[in-house]
Amino acid sequence: MRRVFPQALLIAFLLTGCAAPYLVPRYESEPANASALTALGVGNVEVGAFEEVPFDSSCRGLHALALPDGMSPGQYFRKALEIELQKAHVPASQAGRVTLSGKVESVGFSSMTAITMGVWNIRVSLRSSNGKALQASESHEFDSGFAYQEACRNTAQEFPKGVQKLIARLFADPAFPSLLR
């Protein structure tokens, strides 16, 4: 009688190991972003809905990246913007002075540019309820690693940093204050 149990167990272990996604951390405010927003002296800003494009979350063909709480990239960016406004003590109200909404135009990553380097490419557009609009993009480069486990884990960990840099780019744009008036 041939014993297949150890082989079946090994195959099951390998298959389940490949199925576990790498989790992207929840967004945390970047102090410089909150300071930049506070310096603008704005109030009563609400964050509306964000449209988005499809997001390919596969990493090196073996794993997927998963955003926290089952969020989509648009929901993640919306939440990040809300967190930055809260950290800067910008009040929101049901009848806010302005509502910022927008679209995640593109979001993608590579965990192996130059073999051990990675990059997140994110582009968003913001629209204000006052009719003004702004677009920005960020290419956040980072050390990913050589082995797929390390590279995919590092890629997931770097997404919030890319979003922080993109928000910093938006807040620093000379046209941004016009969206808040």
The enclosing domain of 26 has a CATH number of: 3.30.160.150
Residue 7 lies in a domain: no
Return the residue matching tokens 């950290």.
87
pTM, two decimal places: 0.86
Q: What is the pLDDT of residues 52-88, one digit of tens each?
A: 888 999 998 878 999 999 999 999 999 999 999 999 8
Q: Is residue 46 part of a domain?
A: yes
C-beta of residue 14 within 8 angstroms of C-beta of residue 58: no
Q: Is residue 172 part of a domain?
A: yes
Measured distance CA(50)–CA(70) in Å, rounded: 16
Point out the residues of the chain with pLDDT beneath 50. Answer: 1, 4-17
Domain total of the chain: 1
Residue 99: inside a domain? yes
| Burial zone of 90 (CB within 10 Å; 0-12 exposed, 13-18 middle, 19+ buried) | buried
- The answer to the question of residue 144 being in a domain is yes
Q: What share of the chain in percent tops pLDDT 90? A: 68
In a domain, 98, yes or no: yes
In a domain, 74, yes or no: yes
CA–CA gap between residue 134 and residue 99 (Å, rounded):
14
pLDDT at 94: 59
Structural domain range at position 114: 21-179
Q: Using one digit for the tens of pLDDT, what is the confidence trace for 163-174?
A: 999 999 999 999
Residue 30's contacts (CB-CB under 8 Å, 6 or more residues apart) are: 84, 164, 167, 168
28 domain-assigned: yes
Cα–Cα distances in angstroms (integers) from residue 66 to residues 76, 103, 110, 156, in the given order = 11, 20, 15, 8
